[in-house]
Amino acid sequence: MPELPEVETVRRGLQPVMEGARIARVETRREALRFPLPERFAERLAGRRILSLGRRAKYLLAEIEGDLLLAMHLGMSGSFRIEGVEGSGAPVAGAAFHMARGEDRLHDHVLFHLEAPDARIVFNDPRRFGYMALIESGARDTHPHFRALGIEPTGNALSGEALAPRFKGKAAPLKATLLDQSIIAGLGNIYVCEALWRARLSPRRAAGTLVRIDGRPTQRLDSLALHIRETIADAIEAGGSTLRDYRQADGALGYFQHRFRVYDRENEPCLREGCRGIVQRIVQSGRSTFFCPVCQR
């Protein structure tokens, strides 16, 4: 599943084309993705301008004139393709890897036809786990998709001080705690493994051990918050990680997977200088966790 850096990369690819454009019409080729499309979906969007394109956790959020918010989730295999704009098929400047889009249009499910620029934004999703919702702009934070989401891991709001009350008393392992979307919004398996390696913390350590008795964060919790922010920032800079289905909006591949220090490196030597550990893989809550048992404590 695309994680936050991949979704943010897609947002940045779509933003120059979508922001400020008017939706001429919306073409829907099926009535439902993971969930049914909103009632009168195409009709409610036609003729309206896209004011901005943002992100919350793993959701793309298009602010539509008339106090509407279009929330879009990529699911497991969803992607957006830009058509009709000169240069839209070229790789992003600085991207090291690029793959042309396939010509199979069978899984093109929703097409946004835009005016000025004359372009199409195509949502393609072979597994149909993605979904879209229309929300009144002022109701986002109380909507079921958003009301329980935690702190964004991309700004200074994520700190040891902010995490301490959320971690205090928790016996759950760090890995499971960090994947809890009500604590930090948008973190996924790959980047949790990488951040824990950077912070030298074991994924099996109880989350509550990073909080002092008086409720203040330990230095290790401050360090963890910093490494989470840095890991996400580095992944966004690299265009995300390309594993299986993920592509950027212009077809370019992300390449953060070439910077993995621990994820998917089972039985390989730890890359930390001076460490003689071997990367192990364990299963936590049904997901693979990769870590070094020597330097991550």
* pLDDT confidence tier of residue 59, bands split at 50, 70 and 90: very high
Instruction: Please name which of 217, 257, 216 lies closest in space to residue 235, comparing C-alpha atoms.
Output: 257
∠ Cα 76 107 10 (to 5°): 50
Which one of 11, 55, 58, 175 is the catalytic residue? 58
Q: Please give the pLDDT value at position 77.
A: 87
Checking if the pLDDT of 100 tops 50, the result is: no
Residues 187/179, Cβ–Cβ less than 8 Å: yes
DSSP 210: G
Q: Does the annotation mark 170 as catalytic? A: no
Which one of 128, 261, 287, 293 is the catalytic residue? 287
Q: Does the annotation mark 168 as catalytic? A: no
Higher pLDDT, residue 13 or 256: 13
User: Average pLDDT of 67-86?
Assistant: 90
User: Average pLDDT of 160-168?
Assistant: 98
Q: Does the annotation mark 237 as catalytic? A: no
* Residue bearing tokens 């996400």: 232
Q: Does the annotation mark 58 as catalytic? A: yes
- Per-domain boundaries in the chain: 4-142, 160-291
- Taking residue 70's Cβ as centre, other Cβ atoms within 10 Å add up to 24
User: Average pLDDT of 75-79?
Assistant: 89
Checking if the pLDDT of 103 tops 60, the result is: no
Q: Please give the pLDDT value at position 85.
A: 74
Checking if the pLDDT of 264 tops 50, the result is: yes
Contacts of 76 (CB under 8 A, 6+ apart): 1, 127, 129, 130, 245
Q: Please give the pLDDT value at position 281.
A: 98
Checking if the pLDDT of 198 tops 90, the result is: yes
Could you tell me how many helices (H) and strands (E) the chain has, helices first?
Answer: 6, 12
Instruction: Please name which of 202, 155, 128 lies closest in space to residue 55, comparing C-alpha atoms.
Output: 155
CATH architecture classification, 4-142:
Alpha-Beta Barrel (3.20)
CA distances from 82 to 17, 21, 114 (A): 8, 13, 11
Q: Please give the pLDDT value at position 84.
A: 86
Residues 152/57, Cβ–Cβ less than 8 Å: yes
Higher pLDDT, residue 254 or 86: 86
Contacts of 102 (CB under 8 A, 6+ apart): none
User: Average pLDDT of 62-88?
Assistant: 89
Checking if the pLDDT of 245 tops 70, the result is: no
∠ Cα 261 266 267 (to 5°): 110
* pLDDT confidence tier of residue 116, bands split at 50, 70 and 90: confident
- Phi, psi for 252 (deg, rounded to 5): -70, 150
> What is the rounded CA–CA span in Å between residue 266 and residue 201?
17
Which one of 3, 6, 8, 194 is the catalytic residue? 3
Asked if the 160-291 domain carries CATH number 1.10.10.60, the reply is no
* pLDDT confidence tier of residue 49, bands split at 50, 70 and 90: very high
Q: Please give the pLDDT value at position 262.
A: 95
Instruction: Please name which of 129, 81, 87, 125 lies closest in space to residue 101, comparing C-alpha atoms.
Output: 81
Checking if the pLDDT of 93 tops 60, the result is: no
For the stretch 10-32, pLDDT in tens is 899 899 999 999 999 999 999 99
* Residue bearing tokens 């393709």: 81
> What is the rounded CA–CA span in Å between residue 151 and residue 142?
15
Which one of 2, 153, 173, 217 is the catalytic residue? 2
